[in-house]
Structure 1
Amino acid sequence: MVTIEEFKNLAGSFPESSEEVHFEKGSFRVRKKIFATLDEKKRQVVVKLSEIDQSVFCAFDGTVFYPVKGAWGKKGWTVIELQNVKRDMLMDAIKASYCLVAPKSLSVKIQ
């Protein structure tokens, strides 16, 4: 289980990441592009993954990682259940999302 504060610290640890409000949820961005959102009430995080990364994470455990319903899910947006995810797996997913969204000059700094 990962707490809300742990998630915020992880997402905020990437170069140039910022936290902003997005439709009454928290969003984490790099140069104005969202790489993760946080729904504190539901204790869910949504990250943007490549199709391959999404399939790998969802195959690992479909109760922890699963595509967002509808078209957004088909574009790689993936729900993560904070109460069920292990910290290492969450960090891997956030990192994959950040690297997908961030400019190459920033993403190479964390690989």
Structure 2
Amino acid sequence: MVSIENFRKTALSFPNATEEPHFEKTSFRVNKKIFATFDEKNNHAVLKLNEIDQSVFCASSEMIFYSIPNKWGKQGWTIVELSRVRPEMFEDALKLSYENVAPKKK
């Protein structure tokens, strides 16, 4: 299980990450681009994964990770059930999400 406090601490530990409101959710961004959101009402996160990472996480843990069932899911946006995910697995997925959105190092 991952608490919002641990989610927030990990997300904000990445370089240039910020926390901002996003409609009724909390978003975590780098250079104004969202890499994760937190939905308090449903206690889940949404992460921006690439197609390969999304398929690996969803296939290995389909009750924990699953694609958003619309065009956003086809772009890599993936729901994570925070009450079911192991902290280490969540941190790995969150890092990949951040890296997908963060500016590429030269």
Query: Do these two structures clear the TM 0.5 threshold for a shared fold by scoring above it?
Result: yes
The corresponding residue for 1:96 is 96
Deviation string 1:5-29 (CA, Å, 9 cap, x unpaired) is: 1111111110000000001100000
Deviation string 1:58-95 (CA, Å, 9 cap, x unpaired) is: 01110000001110001100000000000110001110
The corresponding residue for 2:58 is 58
Q: SS at the partner of 2:66?
A: strand
- Please, which runs of 5 or more residues in structure 2 have no aligned partner? none
Q: SS at the partner of 1:18?
A: strand
The corresponding residue for 2:31 is 31
The corresponding residue for 1:20 is 20
**Taking structure 2 as the reference length, what is the TM-score of the superposition?**
0.97
**Taking structure 1 as the reference length, what is the TM-score of the superposition?**
0.93
Amino-acid identity (%) = 58
Q: Measure, in 2, the Cα distance between the counterparts of 1:31 and 1:16.
A: 7
The corresponding residue for 2:7 is 7
- Please, which runs of 5 or more residues in structure 1 have no aligned partner? none
Q: SS at the partner of 1:62?
A: coil
